[in-house]
Chains A and B, each alone.
Chain A
Amino acid sequence: MWKLVILYIFLNVFNTDSPIIIIIDDCKNWREVKLNPNSEKYAIIKDIPIFHTVSLSHNWLNDENQLLRKTLSLVEIKKFSSFYSSELGPNNWNKLLEYSKTRKIFILKPIDFCSQKRFLFNTKFELLEVNIHLGGDE
């Protein structure tokens, strides 16, 4: 947790407009939403305490709202502010949601991180820009 606190300070003070990357490392906890397989859209959802769910959506209705993609190696990813999803609790997700007002959020998909590709030297990963959505009680 202390790492996250330091990262928050770092994110707030020194790095106010660079993207944030979330590495989805707790792959089994995420469920892929069954979007049209022929589209380039993608979304995953996970159960979390307090909010019920957190979802990360690389999804849009109109092309003018299309989200970005980036291709980076793990080494390059580490140069950005990055988090492992397994370390994020409800408060962290809520904080990231607030950061998303000013900073783009990218994810490294679980299918990529939890595969052999991670161990291959200088492999490039495709990162997807996502919107964060938190559920809630009603």
Chain B
Amino acid sequence: MPPYYKNLSRFGFLAFLAFFMTMNLLLTSCVDEPEAPKIELADRTPVAKVKAWFEENKTKLRLPERGSNLRTESQELILPFFEKEPDWDKFHHYYFPDGREVFEISLENTQKFVPSTSSDPDQESLAKRMIQNILFVKHPTENRFDPLIVRYYPDEETSKRDFKEINYQMIDEKWSGWIDLFSYDEHYLVGFQIEKGQITKSRTFKKSSPSGKVGIGFENKDVRCKIMETVWINVSVAGSTITITSLDTTYSQSCSIGGLDSSTLNSGTASNYYGDGYTPWGGGSTDSYYVPDVPLPKLTIYIDISISSDPRLSCIVDKLSMAGFVNKIADFTKTKDISQNSIIKLNPLTQGVNGQTTIKNGIYEITINSEFSSLNRPDILIARTILHELMHAEILLALKRNGETIIDSEFTSNFDKSINILYGTSNMASDQHHKYMAENLLLTMGSTLMEIHKNSFPEDYNKLNNYVKAQGYYPKGVSVDFYINLFWQGLEGTLAFNQMKSITTNPPIISLYDRFILDGEIAKTLTKPCGN
């Protein structure tokens, strides 16, 4: 039976009252009250800070006039300035190896500059596949960002990438093309040719052919540098209308990375390639803009599931990746994307091999042996093996980049020297990488391993330090020599190792070889802080 209401009129009045009050509330709340305080939730995301800074400072981001430009007498290439319109929703956030924070943001502008050469006259399709971004490099000490314009010119359609697929520190192993850097107001700085993820050449532009002795299209007798006439084109896209305007003729000088004067190869940063047209503007007033120093494009190492699913190995790789030097040469990522050119994995290897580095389909594959004989070692020795293999990968990369590497400003001559010493000896089959490491990298590797031990495994390090002091092995505490000796183990058989081994001493002076054996023995007693 349905409910029966004795007094319907009273219920109707109450319902009307409720309706009236609700409507009143709704209507009054829609009335704009100009005096009422408004509360806005500020966008506190990191990119919002960059945006705010840019909006406030964008009028100041012009390099000082130097009285000339492309359109007058200057040798410097300065393209026409246009107001940059960053698309703040499309950004990459990363850090340079030296720790500076970087935001790389897509430019919405429809205006694009493309270089046109006789060998590649199709500017329209190049303009369609190119990407132009703006880098905001956080100043290390001041509250400001120094912008740079980066333009990616893919060689072919196969190298065309979406914004999210490429950035200055994430070039995949299949990408080929040119990356050109400009100041915010379009002063050309430097360009890098990338072939399948590797830097092969750098280039600069001048208004006239550099030096009278080199003609257009003529390959310099130095072989490593090439001059090419290049016309810069301004391409504007408005809907389906494409406007193409030729700017001016310039001359690019592109040089093999290994062919550059060694004085320009001293720190592995792009600023070393800025060339004689580059002047480090600013640096004084906080109001002035100056072109930030940027590192060379860097590739990343993918941590395979075999490592990431192994708590101990994963922990060791994490600790290793925190070391400053390791950070400079490699980024470790657990995200598998097309940017990685190296992979680190845990797999069974041949007996007697702790780790190995190979190239498979252009990928540097670092494998740590999963066999008990390899893993039943203290964490610091496994870290040593990984670091050793990382050096192999970096050497392979340097050879592919014609000697360009952050580990050694004179890699080409030092590596050649390592090979040349082998001539006339019976040691021709000796591993050239190991020989190079023994002669050039031991101090760097030893210092890095010591840093890892001290900072990432402090308890283990302190135990060692107390022990070697108490036993008199290192009366002043453990030194980098101890860690260098650990690296000698992977370098046995090299000429340098045999030379070290042959040096004899009279007691009580302990020989280098005995010290190597002793330190290796002490290291075996270290622990496994990352677990068993």
Q: Which residues in A have some Cβ–Cβ distance to B below 8 Å?
A: 31, 33-36, 39, 43, 45, 50-52, 55, 57, 59-62, 65, 90-91, 94, 97-98, 101, 131, 133-138
Q: Measured between C-beta atoms, what is the minimum distance from A48 to chain B in Å? A: 9
Q: Measured between C-beta atoms, what is the minimum distance from B370 to chain A in Å? A: 13
Contact flags B368-399 to A (C-beta < 8 A → 1, else 0): 01001110110000000100110000000000
Interchain CB contact (< 8 A) of A35 among B352, B356, B374, B521: B521
Centre residue among A51, A52, A61, A62 by max chain B CB count within 10 A:
A61
Q: How far is the CA of A65 from the CA of B300 in the complex (A)?
A: 40
Asked whether A34 lies within 8 Å of B514 as measured between CB atoms, the reply is yes
- B372: chain A residues at CB < 8 Å are 97-98, 101
- B521: chain A residues at CB < 8 Å are 33, 35, 43, 45, 55, 57, 59
Asked whether A137 lies within 8 Å of B490 as measured between CB atoms, the reply is yes
Asked whether A57 lies within 8 Å of B352 as measured between CB atoms, the reply is no
Asked whether B385 lies within 8 Å of A31 as measured between CB atoms, the reply is no
Select from chain B the residue with minimum beta-carbon distance to A51. B352
- A34: chain B residues at CB < 8 Å are 510, 514, 517-518
- B524: chain A residues at CB < 8 Å are 55, 57, 59, 131, 133
Q: Measured between C-beta atoms, what is the minimum distance from A29 to chain B in Å? A: 15
Knowing A55-B524, A59-B524, A97-B372, the reply to whether A90 touches B351 (Cβ < 8 A) is yes
Q: Measured between C-beta atoms, what is the minimum distance from A80 to chain B in Å? A: 23
Question: Can you pick out 27 interface pairs between chain A and chain B where the beta carbons lie within 8 Å of each other?
Answer: A34-B510, A34-B517, A35-B471, A35-B521, A50-B352, A51-B351, A52-B492, A55-B520, A55-B524, A57-B521, A57-B524, A59-B524, A61-B463, A61-B525, A91-B351, A101-B372, A133-B524, A135-B352, A135-B492, A136-B353, A136-B369, A136-B374, A137-B352, A137-B353, A137-B354, A137-B356, A138-B354
> Does B317 touch A at the CB level, under 8 Å?
no
Asked whether A136 lies within 8 Å of B388 as measured between CB atoms, the reply is no
Select from chain A the residue with minimum beta-carbon distance to B434. A138
Given contacts A33-B517, A61-B526, A90-B352, 16 further A-B contacts (CB under 8 A): A33-B518, A34-B518, A35-B518, A36-B472, A36-B473, A43-B521, A55-B520, A57-B525, A61-B464, A98-B372, A135-B489, A136-B352, A136-B353, A136-B369, A137-B354, A138-B356
- A33: chain B residues at CB < 8 Å are 517-518, 521
Select from chain B the residue with minimum beta-carbon distance to A133. B524
- A90: chain B residues at CB < 8 Å are 351-352
Q: How far is the CA of A31 from the CA of B511 in the complex (A)?
A: 14
Q: Measured between C-beta atoms, what is the minimum distance from A55 to chain B in Å? A: 7
- A94: chain B residues at CB < 8 Å are 351, 373
Select from chain B the residue with minimum beta-carbon distance to A100. B376
- A50: chain B residues at CB < 8 Å are 351-352
The number of A-B residue pairs with CB atoms under 8 Å apart is: 82
Q: How far is the CA of A59 from the CA of B520 in the complex (A)?
A: 12
> Does B355 touch A at the CB level, under 8 Å?
yes
Asked whether B517 lies within 8 Å of A97 as measured between CB atoms, the reply is no
Q: How far is the CA of A90 from the CA of B518 in the complex (A)?
A: 22
- B463: chain A residues at CB < 8 Å are 61-62
Select from chain B the residue with minimum beta-carbon distance to A134. B373
> Does B467 touch A at the CB level, under 8 Å?
yes
Interchain CB contact (< 8 A) of B517 among A31, A39, A65, A136: A31
Q: How far is the CA of A112 from the CA of B76 in the complex (A)?
A: 81
Q: Measured between C-beta atoms, what is the minimum distance from A30 to chain B in Å? A: 12
- B377: chain A residues at CB < 8 Å are 133
Q: How far is the CA of A105 from the CA of B393 in the complex (A)?
A: 38
Select from chain B the residue with minimum beta-carbon distance to A49. B352
Select from chain B the residue with minimum beta-carbon distance to A31. B517
Asked whether A138 lies within 8 Å of B490 as measured between CB atoms, the reply is yes
Select from chain B the residue with minimum beta-carbon distance to A39. B471
Knowing A61-B463, A138-B354, the reply to whether A97 touches B376 (Cβ < 8 A) is yes
Q: How far is the CA of A9 from the CA of B377 in the complex (A)?
A: 27
Asked whether B373 lies within 8 Å of A97 as measured between CB atoms, the reply is yes
Q: Measured between C-beta atoms, what is the minimum distance from A38 to chain B in Å? A: 9
Q: Measured between C-beta atoms, what is the minimum distance from B68 to chain A in Å? A: 56
Q: How far is the CA of A33 from the CA of B492 in the complex (A)?
A: 17
Q: How far is the CA of A62 from the CA of B372 in the complex (A)?
A: 24
Interchain CB contact (< 8 A) of B373 among A36, A136, A138: A136
Q: How far is the CA of A31 from the CA of B517 in the complex (A)?
A: 10
- B467: chain A residues at CB < 8 Å are 61
Q: How far is the CA of A59 from the CA of B378 in the complex (A)?
A: 14
Q: Which 7 A-B pairs have the closest CB atoms?
A: A138-B490, A50-B352, A136-B354, A51-B352, A33-B521, A61-B525, A138-B388
